[in-house]
Amino acid sequence: MIISGGISKERLISLDTGKQVAKELKKNGYQIKISEPNFSLLDNIKAFKPNIIFNALHGQFGEDGYIQTILETTNIPYTHSGVISSAIAMDKELSKKIFIKNKILTPKYFLYSFNETKLRLIKKIEKKLKFPVVIKPINEGSSVNVFICTKFNILKNLKFLKEYKKIIIEEFIPGREIQAAIIGKRKLGAIELKPKRKFYDYQAKYNPKAKTEHIIPVNLSKEKFNTLMNIAFKTHKLIGCQGVTRSDFKYHNKKFYLLEINTQPGMTKLSLVPEIAAYQGISFIKLLKLILKDAKTNK
């Protein structure tokens, strides 16, 4: 069974992931049923009696521990990370604290709640981070509502984040955008992105017209590439992830800055993990089988 759709801002991406996964698995002899994560989900699971549940959800309620908590009650193996690791990875503040504690370089940051004055915020940024800065929700994925802000446009962009009680304000790290993938105990590989847009935002990720350039293999020395993959693997293990993860980095002044770790990377035609896998000689169906193989009941 594949669970896709949901109510997050990444619903369309989830539906696309579910569709691509279902198509490939059916082609290879798997019996598939797709279900929304709604009030009928547990009834659908009970009726279909799947051996494994493929979690194709993205964003809130899909990769933050919420749906994982529900799936735990079925005692059926499900893919990707479990309750605790999903919740930690989705919470950008909590995951950053873990990065810092374990000496993993990450951009400086602080939290902002909208009851603080805007003037005070600007002074705080100038003192602690300097402009430009990145503003984003604590618990969204796919670069939803992420903005790079200067002193002159931050107040305008903050309006788009009013629905969130708190947001994270982070120092902007220039440099190269590099993503590294881990599956189980295997260092899968990495890819560099050169977006035509200001940065690798939602449109750059999912709109083919954005024409983001994908570079693989990544132009790094063997030593630097190993450093990158070791950080991604260390993060994967620290948070207790399972299945596949993708860690997003900025490479600047010969240093890797970890932005975040994604516990349920997309599996669409434009997604990075299948592209990294393909470069390593791993077909889409083999990648899916590796993800299914790493599914467990006790997460």
**CB 106 within 8 Å of CB 96:** yes
Residues 182 and 98 grouped into a single domain: yes
- Give the integer Cα–Cα distance in Å for 146 and 135: 6
Residues 98 and 239 grouped into a single domain: yes
Is 113 a domain residue? yes
Q: Name the residue among 90, 256, 245, 109 with its Cα closest to residue 168.
A: 109
CATH of the domain at 219: 3.30.470.20
To the nearest whole number, what is the mean pLDDT of the chain? Answer: 90
CA atoms within 13 A on the CB side of 125: 26
Residues 274 and 211 grouped into a single domain: yes
Residues 100 and 116 grouped into a single domain: no
Residues 94 and 241 grouped into a single domain: yes
Is 299 a domain residue? no
Residues 114 and 220 grouped into a single domain: no
Residues 113 and 99 grouped into a single domain: no
CATH of the domain at 12: 3.40.50.20
pLDDT in tens, 34-83: 999 999 999 999 999 999 999 999 988 999 999 999 999 999 999 999 99
How many domains are there within the chain?
Answer: 3
CA atoms within 13 A on the CB side of 58: 23
Confidence of residue 248 (pLDDT cuts 50, 70, 90): very high
> For 111, which DSSP code?
E
- Give the integer Cα–Cα distance in Å for 212 and 191: 12
Residues 161 and 189 grouped into a single domain: no
Is 298 a domain residue? no
Residues 93 and 210 grouped into a single domain: yes
Confidence of residue 275 (pLDDT cuts 50, 70, 90): very high
In the numeric block, which tokens belong to residue 225? 């590439």
Residue 119's pLDDT is 81
Please, what's the largest Cα pairwise distance for the chain?
61
Is 30 a domain residue? yes
From 171, 191, 208, the end of a domain falls on 171
Residues 6 and 65 grouped into a single domain: yes
Is 287 a domain residue? yes
Which structural domain, as residue segments, surrounds residue 240? Answer: 88-104+175-293
Residues 13 and 153 grouped into a single domain: no
Residues 68 and 53 grouped into a single domain: yes
Cα separations (Å) of 110 from 136, 139, 168, 193? 11, 15, 6, 27
- Give the integer Cα–Cα distance in Å for 27 and 23: 6
CATH of the domain at 149: 3.30.1490.20
168 forms bridges with which residues in the sheet? 111, 136
pLDDT in tens, 108-158: 999 988 877 778 888 999 999 999 999 998 887 656 778 999 988 888 888
